[in-house]
Chain A
Amino acid sequence: MKSTEKEDQKDDKKQETKEEVKKEPPTPLAEIKGNFVLIDRAVSTLEPRFTHRVLKTLTTLVKKIDEKIIRNAIEEVYPKESATKTALLSWLPASPSEDVEMQIESSSTSTTTTKPAPVTTEPVPEIDIYLRLLIIHQLLKSTGSVSEAKDLSVETVKKMQALNRRSLDSIAAKVWFAVERSFELDGDLAEARPLFLAAQRTAALRHDDDTQASLINRLLRSYLAYSLYDQADKLVSKTTFPVSAGNPQFARYHYYLGRIKAVQLNYSDAHTNLQQAIRRAPPATLAPGFYQAVHKLFVVVELLMGDIPDRGIFRHPVLEKPLKGYFEIVKAVRTGSLSQFQQTVLKHAVLFQADKTHTLITRLRQNVIKTGIRRLSLAYSLISLKDICVKLHLDSEEDAEYIVGKAIRDGVIDGRLVHEKGWMACGGAGGVKRGYGSEVAEVFTRRIGYCLELHNQSVKAMRYPLNAHRKELADAEGAREREKELAKEIQEGDLDDEDLGGDF
């Protein structure tokens, strides 16, 4: 007791001298401490809502903090001789003596201002894990300490699993992200896979939706990073992505699904998934990397489906520059010029390689040819195979004949080949006939269905404030009362009327 008193005194003295300099409170530290309170409340009230609020600020907080702030936070929240505290502090680099002094000072100021009584009880383990999460992110900031971050993340995971507390779940989801990040930066993402798989199994058994969603995305990412599309596809078919997962997780999941489906030539599904990913993604300015990556793939998939992407995408301030190569591809496909297409692919090969879209783009070759043939069939009513060959830069007339034949069979163009004369006769007006058919009706049904679905979903998604109906009930009660009164009055009025009537 005495020693603490002494220290308090000393602190007071120091505080006085430092008062001027330390006018404004250190915001990140205050934020961390505010978060401790929230976590504590979340644990005591069993309300995950508070934890969610803490985690929402994680990314912005991580950018602001440094080692000193974390150390101060640890010093404050743990009692003097706590094993957890020393364990936590051991992960932070040893501070020079000057730093220690600073730390005592700042901690003292905030203790005296916000918490007069020194902490004596051990805080909840959730706070420990949360601090570990912060430390991992801090260690990941510099390339030198990545392996430390990896060690810490593995240890944290072990600790989390040993604790086995449901109130930890949402923090755990974030910890898994940190685990992945540290393994990835260290260059051996594959090593973390067994860890993820085991944890995924447990999470699924416990219906721990947050962790499960996070882990499925981790696994997909790790599979796709090594181009293991088969395994990724199997994982997707064997797991169900929790519906209650947050939008960022959903956005990622849809993006990975889009990647898998695009590789499997299932372009229309890939298109829907990528669209979902774009819709659920955070605003472009907040997470430009994700936004760009999704759009790159989206453009390629749209081209593969035979559509031309919206011109507006390429004017978007976030997308304009990184999508330049893709824009050129779009131009080449649109004009149906095979030589331009091949030049563009060669020119941007490195970019496409890095984006892992190269193989998808080489698949576009046939689309370019088809567009070219379609343009020719619209412009000419008769054209010799030789001219087709020249215009589309095909290798031989023989090839041209087969290619046109295939295009006719696939319904790309309406026309006939006349082999003896070596020309293609185009149907010309044939295209107009198919104006209204069952196809149009189907498209109409699909669109209407979509609108109705949207309407129903938004009705379902409407939220009503809790207990609002009570007020309404009270209102109804009041209304009934008033009605009664009114009725009474009317009755009386009637009487009055009668009376009046009687008078007259």
Chain B
Amino acid sequence: MAQNQLKSLYNDLKRSFEAKPFDLKKCGSLLAKLKIGLIETGLLIPQGEHNIDDLVVARDILEIGAIWSIRTRDVPSFDRYFSQLQTFYTDYSSVLQPSKNEYPIRGLNLIRLLTQNRIADFHTTLESLPIPADAIADNQYISHPVNLEQWLMEGSYSKVWNARERAPVEEYKFFVDSLMGTIRNEIASCEEAAYESLPLKDALTLLFFNNQSELLTFAQQRGWQVDLSRSLIIFATKGEEQAEIPKQKLISSSLAYARELEQIV
């Protein structure tokens, strides 16, 4: 593909990306064409020296691709774009001007890891961010997922709930929705352990439901007893766990000790 053709496609993509309303389909087809172009010019995964302008264009295309995948709700595709962008963000960081989209996209990646409950990966990624740890609080794109993680871990679910409206970029909301499903289940499992019974009204607010029917279907899913006359949810108390003596294990370990002792003496 000729260089100028690539250029015109890129301009096309940029225009349709910035246009409102945003044309998902057109962007998708343009991206597919552009990616082929990038591969042909060796810019998709650049190695060695390249023209700086070309690299910037390639990075822009991939960034648009990443955001586009979020808008089309295609998480695996976002994952691919993000890995391709890594080269630009880390290996060429000394050559290229930092992109204004870099941190939003990094933040999106963090939230994605959080919603998939990949906490270990989340921390690894966080650790490898090129910004110092005490500057994280100043970077709204990064501090958002970081705070979410902290609140989730300590159990301040209401803060997570309230933060969903404060997403720094529109795209964050896509992940926040699925995050809500996760925390609702978290809260439910906490309630099962912590309460004997709970008035329906309070359960409604605790679980962030808007109306009772939603709550009732949720309660049904989790197998809760609902006493409508007293408007109470009664959580089944778990019977005392019968402590069983692991006979097999005890015998085998005792025998092992005896054998070892014999060797020593």
B128 near A228 with CB under 8 A, answer yes
Q: Is B243 a contact partner of A409 (Cβ separation < 8 A)?
A: no
Give per-residue flags for B118-139: 1 if the beta carbon is below 8 A from chain A beta carbons, else 0: 0110011111111011100000
Tally the A-B contacts, defined by beta carbons under 8 Å: 113
Q: Which chain B residues border A363 with CB–CB below 8 Å?
A: 123, 153
A193 to B129, CA, bound (A): 20
Known: A230-B124, A264-B124. A441 touches B194 (CB 8 A): no
Do B124 and A229 touch across chains, with their CB atoms under 8 A apart?
A: yes
A352 to B133, CA, bound (A): 9
Q: A229-B128, A399-B158, A452-B260 are in contact. Are A408 and B190 (CB under 8 A)?
A: yes
Question: Does B2 interact with chain A (Cβ within 8 Å)?
Answer: no
CA distance A383 to B126 in the complex (A): 38
Stretch at the interface among B14-22, B104-112, B195-203: B195-203
- Which of chain A's residues have a CB closer than 8 A to the CB of B150? 362, 365-366
Residues of B within 8 A of A264 (CB): 120, 123-124
Query: CB-CB < 8 A to A406: which residues of B?
Result: 154-155, 186, 190
Given the complex, which residues of A lie within 8 Å of B119, measured CB to CB? 265
Q: How far is the CB of A396 from chain B (nearest CB, A)?
A: 7
Taken together as a complex, chains A and B put the C-alpha atoms of A437 and B241 apart, in Å, by 12
Question: B195 and A437: CB pair below 8 A?
Answer: no
CA of A72 to CA of B202, assembled, Å: 87
A395 within 8 A of B: yes
- B157 is an interface residue with CB less than 8 A from chain A: yes
Chain A 341-382 interface 0/1 with B at a Cβ cutoff of 8 Å (1 = within): 000000001001100001100110110010000000000000
Q: A265-B120, A359-B133, A403-B154 are in contact. Are A227 and B127 (CB under 8 A)?
A: yes
**Chain A neighbourhood of B250, CB < 8 A:** 441
Q: Is the CB of B159 within 8 A of A399?
A: yes
Given contacts A359-B123, A417-B194, A420-B199, contact A405 B155 (CB under 8 A): yes
| In contact, B257 and A448 (Cβ under 8 angstroms) | yes
- Select B133's contact among A362, A395, A402, A418, beta carbons within 8 Å: A362
A229-B128, A402-B157 are contacts. A408–B133 as well, Cβ < 8 Å?
A: no
Q: Which listed residue, A230, A398, A408, A445, touches B193 by the CB 8 Å rule?
A: A408
Within the assembled complex, what's the spacing in Å between the Cα atoms of A227 and B90? 11
Decide yes or no whether A455 CB sits under 8 A from chain B: yes
CB-based contact B257/A409 at 8 Å: no
Smallest Cβ-Cβ distance to B155: which chain A residue: A406
A263 within 8 A of B: yes
Dominant secondary structure at the A interface:
helix
A228, A353, A408: the one within 8 Å of B132 (CB): A353
Taking the complex as formed, is A416 at the interface, i.e. its CB lies under 8 A from any CB of chain B? yes
Q: Which residues of chain A from 419 to 437 have any CB-CB distance to chain B below 8 Å in the complex?
A: 419-420, 437
Distance in Å: Cβ of A237 to nearest Cβ of chain B: 14
Q: How far is the CA of A417 from the CA of B196 in the complex (A)?
A: 8
* In the complex, residue of chain A having the shortest beta-carbon distance to the beta carbon of B149: A363
Q: How far is the CB of A201 from chain B (nearest CB, A)?
A: 19
When distances are taken between beta carbons in the complex, the residues of chain B under 8 Å from A97 are: none
Give A325-340 interface residues, CB cut-off 8 Å to B: none
Given contacts A362-B150, A365-B150, A408-B193, contact A399 B156 (CB under 8 A): yes
Interface flag for B191 (CB, 8 Å): yes
Least Cβ distance of A101 to chain B in Å? 49
Q: Does A438 have its Cβ within 8 Å of any Cβ on chain B? A: yes
Q: Which of B127, B193, B196, B246 sits near A229, CB closer than 8 Å?
A: B127
**A236, CB-defined interface residue at 8 Å:** no
How far apart sit A412 and B249, CA to CA, in the bound complex (Å)? 28
Nearest B-chain residue to A264, judged by Cβ:
B120
Residue of B nearest to A357 (CB): B133
Q: Is the CB of A409 within 8 A of B190?
A: yes
In-complex Cβ contact of A263 among B124, B155, B190 (8 A): B124
Closest beta carbon of chain B to A407's beta carbon, Å: 7
Residues of A within 8 A of B191 (CB): 405
Given that A407-B155, A455-B264 are known contacts, is A417 also in contact with B128, CB under 8 Å in the complex? no
Instruction: Kindly identify, within residues 155 to 193 of chain B, every residue whose CB is under 8 Å from any CB belonging to chain A.
Output: 155-159, 186-187, 189-193
| 29 CB-based A-B contacts, threshold 8 Å | A226-B128, A227-B127, A227-B129, A233-B124, A263-B124, A263-B127, A264-B120, A264-B123, A265-B123, A353-B134, A358-B133, A363-B123, A365-B150, A366-B150, A395-B159, A398-B158, A399-B156, A401-B206, A402-B156, A405-B190, A405-B191, A406-B186, A409-B194, A419-B195, A419-B202, A420-B199, A441-B249, A445-B253, A452-B260
Residues of chain A at the chain B interface (Cβ within 8 Å): 226-230, 233, 263-266, 349, 352-353, 358-359, 362-363, 365-366, 369, 394-396, 398-399, 401-409, 415-420, 437-438, 441, 445, 448, 452, 455
Task: Give the A-binding residues of B (Cβ under 8 A).
Answer: 90, 119-120, 123-130, 132-134, 150, 153-159, 186-187, 189-196, 198-199, 202, 206, 243, 246, 249-250, 253, 257, 260, 264
Other A-B pairs, 12, CB within 8 Å; known A358-B133, A403-B154: A228-B128, A230-B124, A353-B133, A358-B134, A359-B123, A402-B158, A403-B155, A405-B191, A406-B186, A408-B194, A409-B190, A445-B253
